[in-house]
Amino acid sequence: MNNEIKTLTISNYNKFQCIADKCKYTCCDGWDIGIDNDTYDKWKGDKAYDILENIKITECGNKKSFCVKKETKERCPFLDIKGLCDIVKSYGEEYLSSTCRIFPRIENDFFDRKELTLSCACPMVVDIIGDNDSEVNITSEVSSDLIELKIRDTIVSIIKEEGFLLEDKLIICYEMLLNEYEDIYDEFLKKYKNIQYINERIKDYSEINLNIYDGLEEINNLFLDVVENYRGVSILKTLLEDISIFAENANIEVLANQWDKFKKIFDNKAGKLLKSCILSKIYSSCVCEDIEEMIQAYEMIIIEYLLVRYAVFLRYSSNRNNDIVIQDVKDYIVAFSRIIGNNTEAMIEFFEDGFEDSILELGYLYFIALF
């Protein structure tokens, strides 16, 4: 029996290079930075007091967790005024915690393979994805018997399908995940690999009468709720604050008049980039054995897409020239990857508080996605 573990990488994985102090969205600012137990023990054993004095310990029962001592909104205390890391300068890159050493690389281990992908929370990754003309793939795709990878492959094949709107494909995949929640099996997945079936389902959705005013109002409220704790964060302020004020004072009727024209321009200019980033996220995060976790991971990808699109719409509507700048799209992809994708636990809590369930109803998603 061949027990060799294959290492598979996402397209252009090796092109990533951190630009450190030249990065305008440094990963050392604007979110919590966790420290793994092994790294903490190593620092403690080495009596690295200059590091330890900046580490916060949280105790929950017998379990201790560690993170960098700072408010979520603040810069990492190890970041110097030039944007370089004091730990790297004093001890070398190997001394970093695994989060800091690995980001934005993501490693998923399966019994027969290791998959290496990249996070869109890093602007360099989004640039690499945006510069790449070919479709995002995991290199030398090897079929697997694992149900989670079969489900992921079915989602990927639907998203890659040409001739449908991205939002329609996103909703169809969500429907697939919800439908046979308890019992996803090969025959069921085959149904969703049939283009004719996808076509019929999308046609069914298009016949549902959705109210554009209600849909816009709901996504406007969702946007404001999700960004509430982030719009003042220094690194995200220029991206979020002015459009949040615009959203607070939004005239839904005026916005509704601009929506269809915006969607066409958005699909033309940013559709390919968004599709590639979504594929990248699906490869990285739709890999859970537990179907409930798989649904949650996929749901985050849909919400990220909808809020990136809505943030760009707010910028488009608040600018007099009514145009879309691709750099804005990239910046919002980075921002919402951090606010939602890298913050899944907080988002799950947010949905449980607001919707009484971490898994959103299909009807709610098409209400805010397909108007």
Binding residue (CB under 6 A) for ligand SF4 from 9, 13, 15, 18: 18
| Minimum distance from residue 125 beta carbon to ligand SF4 (Å) | 7
Binding status of residue 124 toward ligand SF4 by CB under 6 A = yes
Q: How far apart are CA 7 and CA 18, in angstroms?
A: 22
Binding status of residue 244 toward ligand SF4 by CB under 6 A = no
Residues 6+ apart with CB under 8 A from 298: 155, 173, 174, 177, 282, 285, 286
Q: How far apart are CA 239 and CA 335, in angstroms?
A: 8
SS3 (DSSP) at 158? helix
Residues of span 177-216 touching ligand SF4 by CB under 6 A: none
Minimum CB distance to ligand SF4 smaller for 23 or for 265 = 23
Binding status of residue 88 toward ligand SF4 by CB under 6 A = no
Minimum CB distance to ligand SF4 smaller for 29 or for 328 = 29
Minimum CB distance to ligand SF4 smaller for 29 or for 115 = 29
User: How many residues of this chain bind ligand SF4 (CB under 6 A)?
Assistant: 12
Q: Which residue is nearest to ligand SF4, using beta carbons?
A: 23
Binding status of residue 5 toward ligand SF4 by CB under 6 A = no
| Minimum distance from residue 124 beta carbon to ligand SF4 (Å) | 4
Residues 6+ apart with CB under 8 A from 214: 367, 371
Contact between 169 and 275 (Cβ < 8 Å): no
- Can you list the pairs that 95-100 forms with residues at least 24 positions away whose Cβ atoms lie under 8 Å? 95/42, 96/39, 97/33, 97/34, 97/35, 97/36, 97/39, 97/40, 98/36, 98/38, 98/39, 99/33, 99/34, 99/35, 99/36, 100/27, 100/28, 100/33
Binding residue (CB under 6 A) for ligand SF4 from 12, 29, 43, 104: 104
Binding status of residue 51 toward ligand SF4 by CB under 6 A = no
Minimum CB distance to ligand SF4 smaller for 89 or for 190 = 89
Binding residue (CB under 6 A) for ligand SF4 from 15, 23, 91, 359: 23
